[in-house]
Structure 1
Amino acid sequence: MDLAPYVDHLRRELAIAAGAGGEEARALAERLAATLESATRLALLEALSAAADEITQDLAPGSVEVRLRGRDPAFVVTPPPTAQTYEEERPSAPPPPDVDDGGTSRISLRVPEHLKPRIDEAAARDGLSVNAWLVRAVSAALDPGDAARRSGRRPPQQTGNRYSGWVR
């Protein structure tokens, strides 16, 4: 999605509004418009991300993601599975973590290039979006006893900063 037309439109509207204040106001508006471009792009990206989050909540277990390629955002839509429900597909797998009706937070996670395909494969194998799979992995890491109780497995042994046990 090209944000340039929206940024340019805002710049034109600012120039028109400043024109009513005279030549000095118009010159000031032109100087401000150049510095506001990055702030405008960021505000538009935040609005698009918030919209994608709202759509994802209504589309669950499908999802909509906003990815930034260069300076332009792109949408990635993962439709919900239609053939089988999660329980029919993987009866021995633990259910997705309980999600409260509270808000969600957005973070950026950078993983080494070699891990990305493995994460994609694991999420596909579990019939989840990458985001849902990562949420489950983080939840299990933060509360390993709870995840083990849900799945019927023993909690992993913890020694110092290392964990040992089985991961699915």
Structure 2
Amino acid sequence: MNLTQYVDQLRQELAVAAEAGGDEARALAERLTAPLESAARLTLLNALSAAADEITADLAPGSVDVRLRGVDPEFVVTPPPAAEPFDAQAEYAALMAARPTPPPPPAAPDLADDGGTARVNLRLPAHVKARVEEAANRDGLSVNAWLVRAVSGAVDQPEGRAGRADTAGAAGGRREAWHSGTGFTGWVR
């Protein structure tokens, strides 16, 4: 930045002011012009430095510095770092990595012990069937394999957590209900 034009403007303003005071004031202004040029440059540098400090405070973390090269100042602007673009995939991956992993599902029952299988017809309300299908898909199992695992898990619970209650049906038939102490989980005829 060239300060000479500003110092010259100040010199002209001093000369105009001295004209109003007569010949003695004009002569005094001419004698003071040379020593005032250095003081005017120093005052302008101080003003520019203060302005750069204020701009830096508003620009943080960027900055503006005033450097003196010869007799003229130079501004050095350091912009704030560019914000990284939002990466939705990276954000999703970070969220998934921070998510707690669910406990592993119970092991599939070992059907090799008895060597055979039995067929059971099970009637479920439509909304329960839909939930069973969703759970089986979520676990990567067929509905049958998921039901076998769920029934095996319920049957294999310790006696303190799940027991069997026998009740007589309306027609004198026998019903068995598996319960956990707080409610029934299913009925079998």
Q: Which has the higher contact order (CA 8 A, sep 6+)?
A: 1
Please tell me whether Structure 1 or Structure 2 has the larger radius of gyration of its CA atoms. 2
Compute the TM-score of the two structures, normalised by the length of structure 2.
Answer: 0.44
How does the TM-score come out when normalised to structure 1? 0.49
Q: Per residue, is there more helix in 1 or in 2?
A: 1
Task: Name the structure where strand makes up a greater proportion of residues.
Answer: 2
